[in-house]
Chain A
Amino acid sequence: MARSQGSHFVVTANTTDSGAPVYLRHDRTWTPAIADAHPAADTQERDDLLAFARSQEDSVCDPYAFKANVEAGRVVATNNRERIRSTGPTTPLRRDDGVTPAEN
């Protein structure tokens, strides 16, 4: 489906099994990639998608909508929170202790 440039709404939730963020596609399936999310063009479409998302609460938790932009056909978050939520922590994850147990 063609995606118009500019400001839209994206519906998101966290999965029940892992808590990972997921985004609602146009076909009303969930994707972990924000770029593949469906950008709702207006509040009516947003509310319809949200209503559907709330019916999915076996598999996802606490759905909500946020504002996003479409740039070069891809959905991108417009605020820090959703940007970090969509891409993961900006800090190193597992602390590299530099040694293996066998070396100690």
Chain B
Amino acid sequence: MYQYDAHDQRIVDERVAQFRDQVRRRLAGEITEDEFKPLRLQNGLYMQLHAYMLRVAIPYGLLSSAQLRGLATIARDYDRGYAHFTTRQNIQYNWPELENVPKILDVLASVQMHAIQTSGNCIRNTTSDPLAGIAADELEDPRPYCELIRQWSTFHPEFAFLPRKFKIAVTGARTDRAAVRVHDIGVCIVENDVGERGFEILVGGGLGRTPHIAKQVRAFLPYEDLLSYLEAILRVYNRYGRRDNKYKARIKIQVAEWGVEKFAAAVEAEWAQIRDSSTKLTRDEIDRIKGRFITPTHETLPAEDLDALALTTDREFARFVKNNLRAHRVAGYTAAVISTKPQGRPPGDVSDTQLDALADLADEFGMGEVVVMHDQNVMMPNVRQRDLRTFYDRLTAWDLGTANAGRLTDQICCPGLDFCNLANARSIPVAMRIAEHFDNLDYLDDLGDLSLKMSGCINSCGHHHVGNIGILGQEKSGSEAYQLMLGGSPGNDASLGKIVGPAFSSDDIVGAVATVLDTYAQQRESREETFLDFYRRVGLAPFKESLYGTDQGRRSRSG
């Protein structure tokens, strides 16, 4: 956990004081909404369908127990008793009143948090691998580099008004769990042929209206050049990125229109001029940042037999062990995924009491830390394996023990038309009907690893393009319709889903998902063949056949 220094705290405290005065002036009628809007957006305050929405930054998803309690206090005292984890490791409050927002920011600042740059055309929160710091396949913990990027990008005067928002993800592991290939910039810690540590830089990924997989612009960047190289990329984008059309203003469009070779050449030319500027990192500076992280100290423990635990007669606990645990590089420890997606609950929502409970559980079982995952779950990264049974019992007492991590009902789902000003269709009710329909966890276990991701509009906050099964909500002739796509993946083998055929009505979309799953279950070569492997082997054809018939008939579709 990074600990603010005096500069960090002062920056945040001063921003709270500034925004308090701006809110006072707005409520007093001294400034108009047009004048206030850019100020509130710079502090993460949106206007949604029913109320303001405040998005709080969680740098690289990492939260201390004290921060969890701060978030619980905000939910209880200034919202409606709950909060919502987002698909970029942040948290949102859906019902704050304007006069209370400065008080909320006070609470955040008291636990070294803020809402700065969670909106607007600026560099947003840097995301990372939820297993950062504990993954066995990790070359180096990426979070100090994320923190460096946070400090470099916060209030960066040159990049406060980019053509569009800008998102960076960093991973230090060989397995990409941070979806770096669908970010504006993806940073991967790598080693070169002589064993030196540096970064592979990917640019131009993104979802939204025009999805793209990021392309490599540099295979190896020396570690000391990280910030100057990012600055060069941002400069090329800021200068030449399109501002004439909001839908063509992301860097992915620039990279696609220019071609990656031309884009990379422009970056290299810019970089040559600034490489040795003040942004050049030194080992001392990196060590200084690393030194501000309080790193958990692990005990020397024997490894427990988790395979035996997974065979215990308590089937739900066994299922939790099998589905929700992730390997930890220290013997005797495990990382546990805490699902926010039990049946009957909106994915990503947690109550104030659950946030407090997570804080208590983190202190008792997890060395005081949790990580918010981009799939809207929470990970407890440092659980002693010998404590698992007690830990699980405590989770289930708080309705936090659902053993569906990585299964169909572990859905990513945006807020959709129930909350969002941009949405065209609801997504949460569909996700809840899917969770209700597929309530047989034995069946879900039989289907194996499978991701379902759903967005209520083309902006793709629900990452539907990279779901093995993706659902896109639309409005057609005044009715909600849902387009089904298959074959997406956000990892090392990133791929974009393909639309399987005409959209389905709200009434028919759950049945369509069932048909897709039945098609896979009946035609896979073996239980070892995952849904994604099956799709990549057979393509859309068998799904089209089972969904629409051989004539691509118009059964079960809305138009």
Q: Which residues on A are within 8 Å of B, measured CB to CB?
A: 14, 16-21, 57-58, 61-62, 78-81, 84-85, 88-101, 103-104
Contact = CB atoms under 8 A, between A and B. Distances in A.
Nearest to B49: A85
A84 B50 CA distance: 9
B391 to A, nearest CB: 14
A14 B97 CA distance: 12
B236 interface: no
Interface in B7-63: 26-27, 29, 32-34, 47-52
5 contacts: A17-B27, A19-B51, A90-B429, A95-B351, A99-B398
Interface string B412-428: 00000111000111101
Contacts of B147: none
A95 B345 contact: yes
A80 B478 contact: yes
B356 interface: yes
Contacts of B316: none
Contacts of A78: 478
Contacts of B98: 16-19
Nearest to A85: B49
A61 B424 CA distance: 21
B537 to A, nearest CB: 37
A80 B82 contact: no
B408 interface: no
Closest 3 CB pairs of A and B: A58-B29, A89-B418, A19-B52
Interface residues of B, number: 46
Contacts of B428: 89, 91
A95 B99 contact: no
A80 B354 CA distance: 32
B357 interface: yes
Contacts of B417: 80-81, 84
A62 B47 contact: yes
Tell me if B's interface is mostly helix, strand, loop or mixed. mixed
A103 B398 CA distance: 10
B353 interface: yes
A98 B344 CA distance: 12
Nearest to A83: B417
B26 A16 contact: yes
Nearest to B350: A95
Interface in B261-306: none
B501 interface: no
B425 A80 contact: yes
B98 to A, nearest CB: 6
B399 A81 contact: no
A16 B98 CA distance: 7
A84 B344 CA distance: 20
A99 B397 CA distance: 8
Contacts of A93: 80, 82
B476 to A, nearest CB: 11
B397 A104 contact: yes
B353 A90 contact: no
Given A19-B48, A19-B52, A84-B49, A98 B399 contact: yes
Contacts of A90: 418, 426, 429
Greatest chain A CB density within 10 A among B27, B33, B351, B479 is at B33
A104 B398 CA distance: 8
Contacts of A100: 353
Contacts of A62: 33, 47
Contact of B354 (A18, A92, A97, A103): A97
Nearest to A100: B353
Nearest to A98: B399
A16 B48 CA distance: 12
B474 to A, nearest CB: 11
Contact of B345 (A21, A92, A99, A103): A92
Given A91-B429, A97-B398, A18 B51 contact: yes
